[in-house]
Structure 1
């Protein structure tokens, strides 16, 4: 009898403890990509997913459409038929409970990725120049047809993750303050032209090389990238022991009533290794994979500038990886890194070659978008957004407009002349503010000297008195190219060389 009484008491004590966990499992919860104020991608099958109690039926309703699915292994996913642009709509998600999401728009979603020049916020940011006219930009940033989704920067994940802890917000002076400036200006310029709602996903982190954003398993399939994987795996083998030593030092100091700030900082720095070799792909890109998007804008490369040759493989591999992740040939629009005193021309060339070789990509040239300080983080993010939006309008939305400056195509040599041909000549080639600058020419000896470039229709003739039999031409081939070769649409030519290695 006594045993039964104690058993009853034990059960009564255990049940309340279990109830919150059971209730949490039973409650319907959509993924955080589905919140009020979201933009959902138009004109495509639209998955909606989340968690709930095992075996339950979940029903999602929006815009007169309804779809249901059964919970398996705690997960559910329904697939809605393509939705037309518009809104606002209300979405209901029903199971053991009902969730109501309001102010949902249907339009186009763009992913904004990269490092600090994409991560740079509209508002002030320490250690970086302010965005040009940022106070005025913030005051005028109320755009209810643009919505913002900022993925929190994480230390990285060794394995692919399923969720990001954030939510959608309306684009206004408050919310855009901490949002990607380049991404915001892109959306601000694009939305009035396409006349549908625009959703912007900010998923980037300053100072990160491209390999942080590329799946490690994919990287391992490229011989040129194998060294990155090998170095990462060697470092990860040492990680547990190093972390344990630092954690023990922190705990010992705490037990003595002290704070070991040196060990705390060292552990925080050590943990950043998790970002490497796909760590940020796992944590900040993979969780988005089922959420349909229109395309990607990307601003990165500064942290790979000392490995430009490798970047010729790494960057195209990243583009393919993301396209494979979304299972669609995503438009991938990226920004050539800005002129800077320690960032040589080789990385810009790697980006240029990617544009030329990888279909459905575009490179925005911003050599004219820097001030006299030539800071690594130019404040003119308005120009960055405008150039990307212009390309999107032409490539994705099929507007018949010129969207690029002159793009080097070929060279032929005739006597003492090098005759260069270009695509994207627009309504004609031009030099801004005087004769063309930035050109050099060499013979077979490879000694480059300043050259005279003359516009002849949609071609250039390049010569130098000292070079009687030219073999190669270069344009803007230095750390800080700031030259004056444009088309009449006001778009600058990318730096290039005819003697690509």
Structure 2
């Protein structure tokens, strides 16, 4: 390690300041040894240095320069590079110096940010089928963003690029199956923290587009006791106590400031998002108690998330930045908001996670968004199910089809339309080649209703690539709901074995 890199390391740890112009170069946190740069697209490289200085970045035959602005910031943009498994060196220097800071073993491949709450953070150590993949994993690198918070948008974050798979079960599975399918290294940037709400990952300026978020931020700014408690925890000893950790990660905005903002605009294919559980504590949102339920709730989550996706694309300066969203799997293990209706794991008329899934699917209104269907997965009583391998596999298939334009079957049957045929309803699907059930029985999970809004189980029969529905309790059914429950029993798949997407054909309000 040369002297400039030693000095840079000392500055990052707070042990001193660099004494000359070239030593004052401070690249952004993600630029390190063993990093993965994004292939086939422009690659920003940025940092800080003395105003007026000229910074030069060199890698793979490219030389780019930039003059540091009056706020001490600089940025160059590398030309698109092809994938490379062979590690190269990147040097960043100032003025006439040619050596500067050097980062070694830099490869070029596909980079994905994996973020969300506990089911993204959850490790794979207790999942044997993922542990069995460790020995065959290759060409995967990871950067785990240190969990912390900040009152202001931070320019740096903690973390180190490692030549090893990510600790997250979902991120590892995704990276493993993606790397198997492409001729390129895969880099995973993992930034996740359990029990965090969508609002925890929102920049402050979204108060302009999301009214309830403005209310939350106004309350946060006025709550001096909470702010002092946060600062006390940050100033105190590490590791934090359990209650302190939980208190920090359930706040609004300040996770984004510390754990997402420093990553932009690092070039990447997109962001994998597994979050939503924290926002399921109410239907309409903004509960007063408990305090950490001050969030969107299930019914408006979809609209808020669409605003969030658009804002992140602005942050990265990339309208094509792809979002892979993990649908919440089956769960009904604790009391959920019930309203006037009975709570039942199979009922299509309960205030259940079905409404959150519907909100998540609303993000498909935007281009460059995919949703991984997990309706056949999950655990009725465990909010942290272990069946993470199929989640990673389905995410990788979506990335192959929707981002890399590969010819793969990436999702199961999707309702196209519902026709009435006498006393029956006929459901037509896309992605339905080889429509079948996993157990050879009739399809499960279908319910029918008429204008009375009383839902009854349907008798379902396969007919080619359609499903015909009827019920002896309804002479003229009008509406159908499929897998629209907390933890439905389902068996309908296509020839690829991928599950049919939940849906409802009615517009009844909960």
1:231 CA drift (Å): 3.2
The 5 A counterparts of 1:350-429 are 350-355=359-364, 357-370=365-378, 374-425=381-432, 427-429=433-435
Is 1:496 aligned to 2:496, yes or no?
no
Query: What are the Cα deviations for residues 211-244 of structure 1, in whole angstroms up to 9, with x where unaligned?
Result: 111223224323xxx1232133123212258738
Alignment check: 8 A CA contact 1:132 1:379 kept: no
Matched residues, number = 450
Alignment check: 8 A CA contact 1:40 1:104 kept: yes
User: Is the alpha carbon distance of 1:457 and 1:69 closer, same or farther for their aligned partners in structure 2, counting shifts above 3 Å?
Assistant: same
1:171 CA drift (Å): 1.5
The 5 A counterparts of 1:242-281 are 243=228, 275-276=251-252, 278-281=253-256
Structure 1 residues 98-107 or 26-35, which shifts more? 26-35
SS in 2 for 1:421: strand
Query: What are the Cα deviations for residues 236-283 of structure 1, in whole angstroms up to 9, with x where unaligned?
Result: 212258738996xxx9xx9xxxx9xx9x9887766556x40x322222
Instruction: Report the equivalent of 1:460.
Output: 467
Is 1:212 aligned to 2:200, yes or no?
yes
SS in 2 for 1:460: strand
SS in 2 for 1:68: strand
Instruction: Report the equivalent of 2:212.
Output: 227
Alignment check: 8 A CA contact 1:146 1:187 kept: yes
Instruction: Report the equivalent of 1:237.
Output: 222
Unaligned runs of 5+ in 1: 1-18, 124-129
2: CA distance between counterparts of 1:244 and 1:493? Answer: 47
User: Is the alpha carbon distance of 1:229 and 1:100 closer, same or farther for their aligned partners in structure 2, counting shifts above 3 Å?
Assistant: same
User: Is the alpha carbon distance of 1:308 and 1:192 closer, same or farther for their aligned partners in structure 2, counting shifts above 3 Å?
Assistant: same
User: Is the alpha carbon distance of 1:451 and 1:195 closer, same or farther for their aligned partners in structure 2, counting shifts above 3 Å?
Assistant: same
2: CA distance between counterparts of 1:455 and 1:105? Answer: 50
For normalisation by structure 2, the TM-score amounts to: 0.82
1: CA distance between counterparts of 2:53 and 2:114? Answer: 36
1:407 CA drift (Å): 1.0
The 5 A counterparts of 1:12-161 are 20-21=16-17, 23=19, 26-72=23-69, 73-86=71-84, 87-95=86-94, 98-123=100-125, 130-133=126-129, 135-138=131-134, 140=135, 142-143=137-138, 145-155=139-149, 157-161=150-154
2: CA distance between counterparts of 1:421 and 1:316? Answer: 28
1:22 CA drift (Å): 5.1
2: CA distance between counterparts of 1:459 and 1:142? Answer: 40
User: Is the alpha carbon distance of 1:201 and 1:270 closer, same or farther for their aligned partners in structure 2, counting shifts above 3 Å?
Assistant: closer
1:80 CA drift (Å): 1.7
User: Is the alpha carbon distance of 1:54 and 1:330 closer, same or farther for their aligned partners in structure 2, counting shifts above 3 Å?
Assistant: closer
SS in 1 for 2:64: strand
1:116 CA drift (Å): 0.9
Equivalent of residue 157 in structure 2, options 147, 158, 164: 164
Alignment check: 8 A CA contact 2:129 2:389 kept: no
User: Is the alpha carbon distance of 1:132 and 1:377 closer, same or farther for their aligned partners in structure 2, counting shifts above 3 Å?
Assistant: farther
1: CA distance between counterparts of 2:384 and 2:267? Answer: 31
2: CA distance between counterparts of 1:386 and 1:132? Answer: 15
SS in 2 for 1:192: helix
1: CA distance between counterparts of 2:498 and 2:75? Answer: 45
Equivalent of residue 340 in structure 1, options 305, 314, 331: 331
SS in 2 for 1:171: coil
Query: What are the Cα deviations for residues 371-406 of structure 1, in whole angstroms up to 9, with x where unaligned?
Result: 6x6521121211111000011111111122221111
SS in 2 for 1:23: coil
SS in 1 for 2:170: helix
Alignment check: 8 A CA contact 2:29 2:262 kept: no
1: CA distance between counterparts of 2:490 and 2:16? Answer: 65
Alignment check: 8 A CA contact 1:132 1:380 kept: no
1:91 CA drift (Å): 0.9
Instruction: Report the equivalent of 1:326.
Output: 316
Equivalent of residue 279 in structure 2, options 292, 298, 304: 304
Alignment check: 8 A CA contact 2:35 2:141 kept: yes
Across the aligned residues of Structure 1 and Structure 2, the Cα RMSD in angstroms comes to 2.8
Structure in which a larger fraction of residues adopt helix:
1
SS in 2 for 1:165: coil
Query: What are the Cα deviations for residues 303-343 of structure 1, in whole angstroms up to 9, with x where unaligned?
Result: 11222111121121221121221122212111111111145
Instruction: Report the equivalent of 2:294.
Output: none
Bigger radius of gyration:
1
User: Is the alpha carbon distance of 1:137 and 1:191 closer, same or farther for their aligned partners in structure 2, counting shifts above 3 Å?
Assistant: closer
Alignment check: 8 A CA contact 2:48 2:74 kept: yes
For normalisation by structure 1, the TM-score amounts to: 0.83
Is 1:290 aligned to 2:275, yes or no?
no
